[in-house]
Amino acid sequence: MEQDITVAQYLKLRLEQLGLRQLFGVAGNYTAPLLDTILADDNSPLRISGNASELCAGYAADAYGRLTGFAAAYVTYSVGAFSMLNCIAGSYVEQVPVLLINGAPTNKENSIEKNTGLLYSHTTGYEFVDINMFRPITVAAERITNARQACYQIDSVLTAMLTAHRPGYLEVCEDVWRASCRAPVGCLESGRGDIVTVSEVEAAVQTTLNSLINAKKAIVWAGIELQRYGLQDNFVRLMEVLNRTLAKHDQPIHFVTSAWSKSVLSEQHPYFEGCYTLTTQEIDSLIGPDGVLLGIGANTIGKDTGSQNIRGDRTLLACQDSLFAGASFYPGVELGAYIDRLIQALEQHQASGHLRGLRLSQLMPMNLMARPAKLGYDSFFERLGSWLTAEDVLVVDAGFPLIGAQSVPIAAQSGFIAQAAWLSIGYSVAAATGVKCARPDKRAVVVVGDGAFHETCQAVSDHHAYGQNTVVFVLANGIYGIEQKLVNPNPFRTGSGKRDYPDPLQNKVYAYNELPAWNFSKLPEVFGGKGHKVANLDDLASAMADIRDNPTQNYVVEVVLDKTDVPASIAAHINTEVGEDEIENPNWPPGGIF
């Protein structure tokens, strides 16, 4: 009979079995027994390195989980957990399995508080407030108050996470950590293969095959779930079979990606066509009226589709557990099984002349584009694209940086990280910590706006403290540009497109979108690292050269941009787009509102 172990040891062993190598978080006394247990084992592969804040820890864990398939973070009750809500919500939406370990007051303290009204540290008086907040944004959540049940509760949460590829939550009372429980039995596995009682894989594959055969044009959309479920190699085989069985020799079948799935495969792959925002207009351009768009692991989110509903007769969207084919819906379609069965069906199909190719990308390669002489979004990303290597992982924040970065060529598979669905500003700087922990052989390169950088700038201290060589480019235009663009894009318009509103407030950037002026390049003097400030392309080239000459140093590079500069993809439509204020009332806001 195996000797009993403590609950802390049990969770530690399970995390080690799952291949976890790094824990992120901010220490507190309620989680100290777990951290002490890990530190006491010199042979444990688990490393604990604290973070500047819970927000930084959560974003770092999220990025780590994207690249390794599992991550964990620790916090203390309420004061730490509340700060983690935004991070876990983002992981839930973007299908990243992050385990949140929340240390809670002891059973005795909970009983006294409940029966006498005495509030202990970090408690609100509302019973079970923490777990009730996290239940809607995790696939499983357990409160552990009894060591005899702890092993079953821990295994239940971890198995649910492995199955659904979403976050989980464990709330452990402090006095339970050192209590005895049985040792782990076996290893945990995904329950995915056991949960589907009725699957329509065969029907879904037949519908897909018929659509491909009958389509005049086709293109494949490689979605984010290929990376989340580790199906990139399966997808590559699918593309090879598609081209061998259905495409003409001079008209190969290509695949595209979107903002969320950028770099899910290497952008140097011979079948890669480009990264697109798949609006209905773009789909028209790609496949025409008689074509088909086949999404593999692709979900329809606003950033990927221009906030349009693209489902229709020309779209086949296969994602985990389902296939949408026009008005038809096929439930219980496990993505890996669908890809494998589709490959088999294509190989069995002998009539190869029905698909007549597809539109080749008309996007001009960045190295062939006219080089702008002035430092701006476009010239920055053009230089960045030629400077990055396959040994870099580009981490981009929401807003103008995410929009501008879509044209940057990414050589390495999973060489691009962004929160393209949840879009929480500040994600990138802290996420880079997790990227480097997950891929120590790579260099994380961050592109972030100055407003977003304000949110998590202290993560630079984590980069330095962890001994990481991360580079942070802060695109400093002094405003929340994306917010101004959404509400009133008039300040960004040029020439005849610029409107002259009677109220002068609508002709300039709103005061609430103006940012405090920081000397960003000086922050490494406090946080650690080296700073650069660049105001022109020569400065940028010099800074990039210095970074390459110092491969072990972490950097913050302040890139000074004009307040009203925007990426070309925005500039192309800004004169005709209408902001939210302009839709509601062309004379809004009334004079004197600010």
Residue 480 has pLDDT above 70, yes or no: yes
Number of helices (H) and strands (E) in the chain: give both, helices first.
24, 21
How far are the Cα atoms of 448, 472, 473, 521 from residue 559, in angstroms, in the given order?
A: 10, 10, 7, 9
pTM over 0.75: yes
Q: Which of 111, 27, 84 is nearest to 120 (CA)?
A: 111
The residue-averaged pLDDT of 512-538 equals: 97
Please state which CATH number belongs to domain 196-348: 3.40.50.1220
Q: Could you give the 3-state DSSP secondary structure of residue 96?
A: coil
387-426 tens-digit pLDDT: 999 999 999 999 999 999 999 999 999 999 999 999 999 9
Q: Residue 541 and residue 520: Cα distance in Å, rounded?
A: 18
Every domain of the chain and the residues it spans: 5-192, 196-348, 371-478+515-563
The residue-averaged pLDDT of 290-317 equals: 90
- Helix/strand/coil (H/E/C) assignment for every residue in 353-382: CCCCCCCCCCCCCHHHCCCCCCCCHHHHHH
Residue 149's CB: how many other CB atoms inside 10 A?
15
The residue-averaged pLDDT of 319-335 equals: 88
The burial of 213, by beta-carbon neighbours within 10 Å (0-12 exposed, 13-18 middle, 19 or more buried), is given as middle
Min mean pLDDT across 15-29, 184-198, 217-231, 503-517 is at: 184-198
Q: Residue 295 and residue 235: Cα distance in Å, rounded?
A: 11
Adjacency order of strands within the sheet including 530-534? 416-418, 392-396, 443-449, 471-476, 555-560, 530-534
5-60 tens-digit pLDDT: 999 999 999 999 999 999 999 999 999 999 999 999 999 999 998 999 999 999 99
- Equal fold, 5-192 vs 371-478+515-563: yes
Q: Could you give the 3-state DSSP secondary structure of residue 484?
A: helix
Please state which CATH number belongs to domain 5-192: 3.40.50.970
143-166 tens-digit pLDDT: 999 999 999 999 999 999 999 999
- Does residue 199 contact residue 337 with C-beta atoms inside 8 Å? yes
Token pair 């009894």 is found at 146
Residue 248 has pLDDT above 70, yes or no: no
Most confidently predicted of 81-90, 285-294, 369-378 = 81-90
What pLDDT is recorded for position 196? 47
Residue 483's CB: how many other CB atoms inside 10 A?
16
Task: Quote the tokens at residue 85.
Answer: 């809500």
- Does residue 126 contact residue 104 with C-beta atoms inside 8 Å? no
342-373 tens-digit pLDDT: 999 998 874 333 333 323 233 334 443 455 57
Residue 70's pLDDT band, with cuts at 50, 70 and 90, is: very high
Sequence length of the chain is 594
Q: Could you tell me where the DSSP H helices lie in 445-536? A: 450-456, 459-465, 481-487, 524-527
What pLDDT is recorded for position 356? 30
Looking at domain 371-478+515-563, its CATH superfamily turns out to be Thiamin diphosphate (ThDP)-binding fold, Pyr/PP domains (3.40.50.970)
- Does residue 559 contact residue 478 with C-beta atoms inside 8 Å? no
Higher pLDDT, 375 or 105: 375
What pLDDT is recorded for position 373? 72
Task: Quote the tokens at residue 241.
Answer: 């079979």
Task: Quote the tokens at residue 584.
Answer: 């509601």
The residue-averaged pLDDT of 466-489 equals: 96
Q: Residue 475 and residue 376: Cα distance in Å, rounded?
A: 9
Using the CB atoms, write b or e for 5-33: b if 16+ within 10 Å. bbbbbbbbbbbbebebebbbbbbbebbbb
Min mean pLDDT across 313-317, 334-338, 365-369, 494-498 is at: 365-369
Residue 587's pLDDT band, with cuts at 50, 70 and 90, is: low
Min mean pLDDT across 94-98, 316-320, 377-381 is at: 316-320
The count of C-alpha atoms lying within 13 angstroms of the C-alpha of 491, restricted to the half-sphere facing its C-beta, is 26
Residue 594 has pLDDT above 60, yes or no: no
Q: Residue 154 and residue 490: Cα distance in Å, rounded?
A: 53
Residue 108 has pLDDT above 70, yes or no: yes
Residue 113 has pLDDT above 60, yes or no: yes
Q: Mean pLDDT over all residues of the chain?
A: 90
